[in-house]
Chain A
Amino acid sequence: MATVVVVGSSVAGVRTAQALRSEGYEGRVVLVGEESELPYDKPPLSKQFLAGAWDSAKVALLTAEAAEAAGIELRLGVAAKRLDVARRQLVLADGSRIDWDSVVLATGAAARPSPWSVESGVHVIRTLADSKALRADLAVDTPVLVVGGGFIGAEVAATARALGREVTVVDPMRTPIGRVVGGDVGEQFTALHQRHGVTTRFGVGVESITGEAGDLTIELTDGSTLAAGTVVVGIGAVPNDAWLATSGLMVQDGVTCDEFCRALNAANVYVVGDLARWYHPGHEEHLRVEHWTNAVDSATVAAHNIAHPDELRAHAPVEYVWSDQYDWKVQIVGRPATATSHHLVGTLDGKVARGAVLYTDDSGRLRGAVTVNWPKALVTCRRLMTAGATYDDALTQLSALAPAVTR
């Protein structure tokens, strides 16, 4: 029987396996995962799961029963070691090999390791085990230092603060979220931390960390020092592509593929999720995107293209990511960082924040939007982005959505 082997058991891999069945693929589907845990979802690991509000069952992506019902063979607890493209085999860490007719590479990305190594008390957060370990340390009433003011850092800071911890966030950039939303709007995110009693030390880096869990000393690049019981390092992710170094595939900060999620120069090799550096036909460039929605969308495209090779579908999404921080539900569509001007509809102030920042550039088109506590505006902006709407049209439509809060 024809076999598709999906390598990676996080959301991109699981959704690929499921979508193969939805698309009518009738061959064998094998899902390989390095972790022995049943597949689980990652976004809650810095939020609800970390806070203790959700348990493991609530973050499950695929139960053993659901896998069996869908005819997905689980091969968990064994890492992929090497891909043999010529023989169409996946070599596993235990030495066994699985033959494939098509293979889907979905090994994702790992947390960028902490450059500061101490015996205990310094965490990264990417896996269920990471989240459990951090949760245990956050239960201790001791100051928390978060290194990195991006999405993960901000979410962990918000969670730790809600648990009652004293929290400081350090980042070498003056407005860390500004990388994504621009400097002006980035400052609103800094104010959000401060409004919730979290100290921000932005524009300063970490020189060294010494000590152990419960008694850590952090020296900053401006010469000052901080004391913390727990440190969380959220400084980005790196693609899990080292195992493909001998495959002959083009591996360069992810695996290069075409607009159909097919690896270059290798038949029947597909790449999805954080690992894929794919050609986006709308942007006319290769991109690697670490967002949940991109993982799911690319999984659907790859599954469709495997099941229906005569009607290939291109992966050309409008970027979308969300983040929950304190009392803000943040949703971001498109590419705000490439814009040259923006306008706020609604308000981002205080306890009643409900607003949308629309972005444009010289083209006069809507280039992106950042919404806060306003899903209807987000959905409207996603539609407008997909349709290639003008900025003026978008402003008119958004203003009509919420006359009461426009100012």
Chain B
Amino acid sequence: MPRLLADFEACQGYGNCITGASDVFDIDDDGTVVLLKEEIPEADRARVEEAARSCPVNALTIED
């Protein structure tokens, strides 16, 4: 199953990923992304990929 990876150092808390997929991404009190799931079902892939690509600092990637 495709796997979601986050670069927690790069994350700046822009929050676009959460708007794109709030069931997958959240933010902690310090403004860093939280992954609510790391394995992404194929059916959700387009939506999560697009949310990941809305990150202004490319902190999110999906690996096969």
Q: Identify the closest chain A residue to B17 (Cβ).
A: A379
Question: Which A residues, 46 to 99, have Cβ-Cβ distances below 8 Å to chain B?
Answer: none
CA distance A183 to B49 in the complex (A): 39
Residue-wise interface mask of B (6-33) relative to A, using a CB-CB cutoff of 8 A (1 in contact, 0 not): 0000001111101100100011111100
**Is A328 close to B, CB under 8 A?**
no
Contact A331 B27, beta carbon cutoff 8 Å = no
User: Which A residues touch B28, using CB under 8 A?
Assistant: 376
Q: Which of A15, A18, A329, A374 contacts B12 (CB 8 A)?
A: A329
**Is A399 close to B, CB under 8 A?**
no
Smallest CB separation, A373 vs chain B (Å):
8
CA distance A293 to B17 in the complex (A): 11
Question: Which A residues, 297 to 320, have Cβ-Cβ distances below 8 Å to chain B?
Answer: 297, 300, 318, 320
Contact A22 B45, beta carbon cutoff 8 Å = yes
Contact A23 B53, beta carbon cutoff 8 Å = no
Q: Which of B19, B27, B46, B56 contacts A375 (CB 8 A)?
A: B27
* A19-B53, A293-B54 as given contacts; A382 in contact with B46, CB under 8 Å: no
**Is A202 close to B, CB under 8 A?**
no
Q: Identify the closest chain B residue to A292 (Cβ).
A: B56
Contact A18 B19, beta carbon cutoff 8 Å = no
**Is B38 close to A, CB under 8 A?**
no
Residue-wise interface mask of A (385-398) relative to B, using a CB-CB cutoff of 8 A (1 in contact, 0 not): 01000000000000
CA distance A318 to B13 in the complex (A): 17
Instruction: Count residues on chain A whose CB falls below 8 Å from chain B CBs.
Output: 26
Smallest CB separation, A247 vs chain B (Å):
29
Instruction: Count residues on chain B whose CB falls below 8 Å from chain A CBs.
Output: 21
* A292-B56, A376-B27, A376-B28 as given contacts; A23 in contact with B18, CB under 8 Å: no
* A329-B12, A386-B19 as given contacts; A22 in contact with B50, CB under 8 Å: yes
CA distance A251 to B47 in the complex (A): 32
Question: Which B residues, 43 to 60, have Cβ-Cβ distances below 8 Å to chain A?
Answer: 45-46, 49-50, 53-54, 56
Q: Which of B15, B16, B27, B56 gathers most chain A CB within 10 Å?
A: B15
* A23-B46, A382-B15, A386-B19 as given contacts; A375 in contact with B54, CB under 8 Å: no
* A293-B16, A376-B27 as given contacts; A383 in contact with B46, CB under 8 Å: no
Residue-wise interface mask of A (11-52) relative to B, using a CB-CB cutoff of 8 A (1 in contact, 0 not): 000010011001110000000000000000101000000000
Contact A374 B53, beta carbon cutoff 8 Å = no
Residue-wise interface mask of A (254-265) relative to B, using a CB-CB cutoff of 8 A (1 in contact, 0 not): 000000000000
Contact A382 B18, beta carbon cutoff 8 Å = yes
Contact B27 A300, beta carbon cutoff 8 Å = no
Contact B53 A15, beta carbon cutoff 8 Å = yes
* A375-B12, A375-B13, A376-B13 known, 6 other contacts, Cβ within 8 Å: A23-B46, A300-B54, A320-B16, A320-B19, A379-B27, A382-B15
Task: Supply 13 A–B pairs (Cβ within 8 Å), ascending by A.
Answer: A41-B56, A292-B56, A297-B54, A318-B19, A320-B16, A322-B56, A331-B14, A331-B15, A376-B27, A376-B28, A379-B18, A383-B18, A386-B19
